[in-house]
């Protein structure tokens, strides 16, 4: 290929495109616009102006009209209804009654409540905000260490993108054409395990220093069982959505419709949803969906450009030629995500790295479902990693504690994350066991 009398390597064009893209993002250009702009210019240069114009003309329509993508707004709407109708408080109360008497029990209940709300929220930020407003006043009332209190909500909130339904799993499935239903089910066991890891972390901290997290009130067995009455329908809805996916009763899109309808029905039965709240949920769903679709459109213009640069193929051939083990390459990918997570927002990480890392993972023989779980785990870590993890700023806004306190509080949970990711690497079946039973 010759431009201006000199041969220009497509790989060099691709590398330059990443430099330009990150520069555009640093000056505040929206992710979707940056991806679309760089991808369009790259296709124009590497292939032809006609090819670039065709992509620009067809991708927005194809993306918005793709039925398979309709699961996205449905699960977002389910999350918004659950958020506005206050279902989180019932889930937190259930966890508090069963765990509150343990050392650090109120913080452990916060993790349990976050795990439960994550199953209807699809969002880390929504989980962190909702549980933060419920749990932080309780931990303050019981004189919990502010670092432990804010750290537990920050980390627990991140469960919203691992425990299904997960917005990041949805985006990963759309971008890589991987089964969204299988991705959702793959997140169940890792999500439950991570919640357990976080609870164990809290227990160890408070066992060593009881002043960090005093025990909460005690409840009789009857009172503990009675707490299920407030969340029985919610747990039933979660079981229906996940069980239906596992058993093949419905697709991910149909599961989203069932979940959204169920959330509306439960909120109406409990008289927690009026017209104003419903309207707010619809508006927020439209805003979030519009933002995500904008990023998807940019990604679908950017991805074929990256393929045209031949960088994924070159990277795969280069790494294969090194003769190192595939697992070592995966560790390098994980370390790259950790480094990026300290300075980059998680959606930006996902959309800019997948065009490179996903083909590489496939060429190394990794299961796309398992790799999806690893990617989502790294997005979680990015969300709670200083200095730019979004959950840190969300909880700072809710708690009004200094950022230094929140940074200090989240460190033990990041250590737990390291052990959890190591377990997922060592035992891939944790992620692939349940999806192997799915019928589609």
Distance CA 372, CA 386 (A): 23
d(CA 213, CA 412): 14
- Name the packing angle between helices 368-384 and 390-399 (round to 10°): 40
- Rounded CA separation 53/48 (Å): 9
Q: Which residue range(s) make up the domain with 174?
A: 67-286
What is the DSSP secondary-structure string of 157-214?
HHGGGTSSS-HHHHHHHHHHT--HHHHHHHTHHHHHHHHHHHHHHHHHHHHH-GGGS-
120, 189, 166: which is closest to 375 by C-alpha? Answer: 166
Phi and psi dihedrals of 6, rounded to 5? -120, 140
- How many CB atoms neighbour CB 102 within 10 A? 19
Number of domains in the chain: 1
User: Residue 7 has what pLDDT?
Assistant: 66
d(CA 46, CA 225): 65
pLDDT (0 to 100) of residue 438: 83
Tell me how crowded residue 329 is: count the other CB atoms within 10 A of its CB: 20
**Does 396 reside within a domain?**
no
Check if the beta carbon of residue 188 is closer than 8 Å to that of residue 163. Answer: yes
Please identify which residue in the block is written with the tokens 């840190």.
392
User: Which residues in the chain land under pLDDT 50?
Assistant: 1-5
| Inter-CA distances, 21 with 25, 302, 364, Å | 6, 10, 27
What is the rounded distance in angstroms from the CA atom of residue 358 to the CA atom of residue 368? 8
| Cβ-based burial of 18 (10 A; exposed 0-12, middle 13-18, buried ≥19) | middle
Q: Is there a domain that residue 171 lies in? A: yes
- 51: exposed, middle or buried (Cβ count in 10 Å: 0-12, 13-18, 19+): middle
Q: Is 102 left (phi over 0), alpha (psi -120 to 50) or beta?
A: beta
* Residue 11 belongs to some domain of the structure: no
- SS3 state at 253: helix
Is 74 among the domain residues? yes
* Residue 357 lies inside a defined structural domain of this protein: no
Measured CA to CA, the distance from residue 113 to residue 93 in angstroms comes to 8
- Is 139 part of any domain? yes
- Beta bridge partners of residue 7, listed in sequence order: 2
Judged on CB neighbours under 10 Å (0-12, 13-18, 19+), 47 is: middle
Q: Could you give the CA distance from residue 43 to residue 36 in angstroms, rounded to a whole number?
A: 10
Cβ distance 370 to 426 under 8 Å? Answer: no
| Tens digits of residue pLDDT in 9-51 | 899 999 999 999 989 988 888 889 999 999 999 999 999 999 9
Q: What is the pLDDT of residue 9?
A: 87
Q: Are strands 6-7 and 2-3 parallel, antiparallel or unpaired?
A: antiparallel
Phi, psi of 3 (to 5 degrees): -130, 120
At 325, is the secondary structure helix, strand, or coil? Answer: coil
**Residues 159, 114 contacting (CB under 8 angstroms):** yes
Contact present, 406 and 388 (Cβ < 8 Å) = no
Yes or no: say if 74 and 289 are a contact pair by the CB < 8 Å rule. Answer: no
Has residue 182 been placed in a domain?
Answer: yes
**Given this model, what pLDDT does residue 334 score?**
92
Q: What is the pLDDT of residue 274?
A: 87
Q: Tens digit of pLDDT for each residue in 235-290?
A: 888 888 888 988 888 888 899 899 899 989 988 888 888 899 899 889 988 988 88
Matching residue, tokens 């699960």: 75
150, part of any domain:
yes
User: Mutual orientation of helices 124-141 and 146-158 as an angle, nearest 10°?
Assistant: 160
CA distance 72 to 285: 10
């Amino acid at each position: 290929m010759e431009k201006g009398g000199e041969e220009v390597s497509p790989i060099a064009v691709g590398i330059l495109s990443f430099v330009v893209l990150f520069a555009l993002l640093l000056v505040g250009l929206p992710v979707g616009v940056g991806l679309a702009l760089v991808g369009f210019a790259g296709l124009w240069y590497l292939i032809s102006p006609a090819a670039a114009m065709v992509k620009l003309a067809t991708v927005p329509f194809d993306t918005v009209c793709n039925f398979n993508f309709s699961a996205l707004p449905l699960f977002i709407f389910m999350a918004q209804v659950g958020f506005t109708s206050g279902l989180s408080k019932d889930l937190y109360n259930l966890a508090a009654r069963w765990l509150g008497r343990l050392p650090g029990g109120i913080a452990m209940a916060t993790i349990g409540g976050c795990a439960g709300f994550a199953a209807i929220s699809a969002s880390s930020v929504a989980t962190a905000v909702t549980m933060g407003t419920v749990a932080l006043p309780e931990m303050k009332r019981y004189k919990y260490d502010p670092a432990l209190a804010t750290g537990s909500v920050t980390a627990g909130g991140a469960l919203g993108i691992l425990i299904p339904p997960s917005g990041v799993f949805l985006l990963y499935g759309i971008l890589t054409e991987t089964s969204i239903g299988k991705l959702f089910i793959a997140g169940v066991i890792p999500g439950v395990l991570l919640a357990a890891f976080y609870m164990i972390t809290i227990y160890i901290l408070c066992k060593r220093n009881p002043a960090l997290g005093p025990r909460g009130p005690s409840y009789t067995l009857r009172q503990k069982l009675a707490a299920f009455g407030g969340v029985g329908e919610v747990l039933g809805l979660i079981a229906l959505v996940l069980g239906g996916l596992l058993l093949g009763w419905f697709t991910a899109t149909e599961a989203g419709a069932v979940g959204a309808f169920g959330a509306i029905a439960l909120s109406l039965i409990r008289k927690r949803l009026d017209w104003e709240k419903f309207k707010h949920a619809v508006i927020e769903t439209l805003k979030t969906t519009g933002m995500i679709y904008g990023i998807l459109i940019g990604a679908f213009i950017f991805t074929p450009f990256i393929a045209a640069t031949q960088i994924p193929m070159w990277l795969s051939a280069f790494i294969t030629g090194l003769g190192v083990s595939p697992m070592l390459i995966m560790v390098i990918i994980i370390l790259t995500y950790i480094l990026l997570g300290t300075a980059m927002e998680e959606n930006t990480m996902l959309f800019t790295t997948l065009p490179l890392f996903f083909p590489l993972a496939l060429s190394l023989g990794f299961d796309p479902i398992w790799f999806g779980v690893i990617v989502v785990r790294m997005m979680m870590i990015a969300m709670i990693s200083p200095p730019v993890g979004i959950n840190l700023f969300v909880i700072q806004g809710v708690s009004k504690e200094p950022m230094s306190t929140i940074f200090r509080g989240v460190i033990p949970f990041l250590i737990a994350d390291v052990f959890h990711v190591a377990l997922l690497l060592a035992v891939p079946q944790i992620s692939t066991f349940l999806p192997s039973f799915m019928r589609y």
